[in-house]
Chains A and B, each alone.
Chain A
């Protein structure tokens, strides 16, 4: 067949163009898999704020906002990311959990590794908890692991039905655990033996809270549920406008929490509404309550300080980036971590709302 000199028919050229556009677009939309998988995890000691975010954990001086040290994964764990709030022991050991399934115990004052422990290839989303000489680590592989604090050696593990994203609550010799499998578990701390479990209607992503003799947990079934701590029997249920992501924080017999539909609640131990407030933005973070004031943040970047008793405004400040991390009050400061904001961490004066300092890792 002779080779013809006609130009490529327009529709065939177009088809190739379409293919290229498709390749680009599909590649572009895979971008949701890259970048941050979660928001910063924040923990404080008397002198230092520890922020787990992306590929590092940052230790920031509370007085000055200056970085003290930075923890990056060792060569063998290159590429690991950190979002779970680290846990701090009384002996000065910081427990860091990575999205690569590795737990590190480091010195809280230097970041030097004491031990390293690979659990499984699943993510460690929820924060670990220190209980005496144990470290409890929830894993997306559906297990809660109890490790020795001084060595990382196995003590026991407890299997649930779905990935675990929530930090366990330790009260005395019991562990309370909320799961994505719609269940709340009570375990014996020493052995990991199940004491009771209660099935709720929705998934749970945050640590349960204790109020009097009740265990409170928010669920994705638009509910705050109160269970008897001894038996797991449901005492009462409070319906909310949206998913309850962050755990309630209790002070003076009142539980404070928000939902992702943008309503903030103050509920007493009987399930009665003390007050509730409609906000413009979603709330995933648990609030902080201190000195009669409740501090909370909305995902779209507003920081609120209100009187805990009656919701009357104290101050309100905007902050850029997404505010999804639980704020923490320490001393005179309110610490707020931001996702994709100008600064990773901002310290507000808890009384006036003035910015005391901001911290952004160098080169970020």
Chain B
């Protein structure tokens, strides 16, 4: 399994990162940004399908027929589920259509994280492992990679040291939390049912905290990926014309997803 993962995911990612790094004059921060944009571009059909599926589901849940079923079978959960599934079939909706594309993206996130960490190789064992992954076409003169980008060392958790302030400020972590909250709020359409709405609110709370924790704990390169990926997700979503900017302002009634 490890060998398949390396061959199919990790090796192409490491070598693509190194190739871009070489093209960009040995700037690993820029290489991560460009690589993230490419990954977003390649996975756009999946993201788009996920967005469409979520939107269709939301439209269905707003429909009169769906609401009627909820009322009619509210005391018979098994029947309710059966009727819901029937309705999904009738409308041509795959109830897992929203999360399958999301699931497919995880190997990419994990592969990218491993690729960043292994490429930066700040200890002998990691560098030895990197040697096993590099294609012959990649010039070995690139090694070791220059891990500094702006004020950050991309191989370690980021903290901005400001003279006079005794603790380092985790700027990237803050950016990850803000951009994750933004992208979750903007790209998750409001749902008519209270339970669904609760879920959306929890997603908007926990996703930024979870990714913020990763950003605070793990290499800054991963946090940089999260920030760029979140921003590009919002841009992609906005390009499809479905962003409801009002959903970001608490207390303001949402306009709902626009078709």
A: residues with CB less than 8 A from B are 1, 3-12, 14-19, 21-23, 25-26, 29-30, 32-33, 36-39, 83, 123, 125, 140, 162-163, 165, 180, 182, 201-203, 205, 220-222, 242-243, 245, 260, 282, 284, 299, 324, 339
Q: Which residues of B contact A38 (CB under 8 A)?
A: 123-125
Instruction: Bin the interface of chain B by size.
Output: 35 or more
The 3 closest A-B pairs by CB, nearest first: A37-B123, A14-B99, A10-B95
A202 contacts B117, C-beta separation under 8 Å: no
Q: Which residues of B contact A10 (CB under 8 A)?
A: 95-96
CB proximity to A under 8 Å, residues B34-81: 53-54, 57, 61, 70, 74-75, 77, 80-81
CB<8 Å pairs between A and B, sample of 6: A9-B57, A14-B96, A19-B203, A19-B206, A37-B123, A220-B141
Q: What's the Cα separation between A182 and B131 when bound, in Å?
A: 17
The residue that B70 contacts in the complex, of A6, A11, A25, A32, with Cβ under 8 A, is: A6
A3 contacts B194, C-beta separation under 8 Å: yes
B127 contacts A205, C-beta separation under 8 Å: yes
CB proximity to A under 8 Å, residues B193-232: 193-196, 199, 203, 206-207, 210, 214, 217-219
The listed residue with most A CB atoms (<10 A of its CB), out of B54, B77, B195, is B195
Q: Which residues of B contact A205 (CB under 8 A)?
A: 124, 127
Tell me, rounded to whole Å, the shortest Cβ–Cβ distance linking A340 to chain B: 10
A9 contacts B95, C-beta separation under 8 Å: yes
The listed residue with most B CB atoms (<10 A of its CB), out of A4, A242, A299, is A4
B140 contacts A7, C-beta separation under 8 Å: no
Looking at chain A's contact residues, the main secondary structure is: loop
Tell me, rounded to whole Å, the shortest Cβ–Cβ distance linking B44 to chain A: 19
CB proximity to A under 8 Å, residues B223-253: none
Tell me, rounded to whole Å, the shortest Cβ–Cβ distance linking B113 to chain A: 6
B110 contacts A284, C-beta separation under 8 Å: no
A37 contacts B57, C-beta separation under 8 Å: no
A220 contacts B114, C-beta separation under 8 Å: no
Tell me, rounded to whole Å, the shortest Cβ–Cβ distance linking A91 to chain B: 30
A1 contacts B128, C-beta separation under 8 Å: no
Q: What's the Cα separation between A6 and B97 when bound, in Å?
A: 20
Tell me, rounded to whole Å, the shortest Cβ–Cβ distance linking A349 to chain B: 29
B125 contacts A25, C-beta separation under 8 Å: no
Given A4-B193, A10-B95, A324:B74 Cβ within 8 A: no
A29 contacts B131, C-beta separation under 8 Å: no
Does B102 have its Cβ within 8 Å of any Cβ on chain A? Answer: yes
The listed residue with most B CB atoms (<10 A of its CB), out of A1, A8, A25, A26, is A26
Does B109 have its Cβ within 8 Å of any Cβ on chain A? Answer: yes
Q: What's the Cα separation between A33 and B99 when bound, in Å?
A: 30
B110 contacts A29, C-beta separation under 8 Å: yes
Q: Which residues of B contact A182 (CB under 8 A)?
A: 141
B128 contacts A37, C-beta separation under 8 Å: no
Q: Which residues of B contact A33 (CB under 8 A)?
A: 117, 218-219
Q: Which residues of A contact B70 (CB under 8 A)?
A: 4-6
Given A125-B123, A245-B128, A15:B106 Cβ within 8 A: no
The residue that A37 contacts in the complex, of B125, B131, B195, B206, with Cβ under 8 A, is: B125
A15 contacts B144, C-beta separation under 8 Å: no
A15 contacts B98, C-beta separation under 8 Å: yes
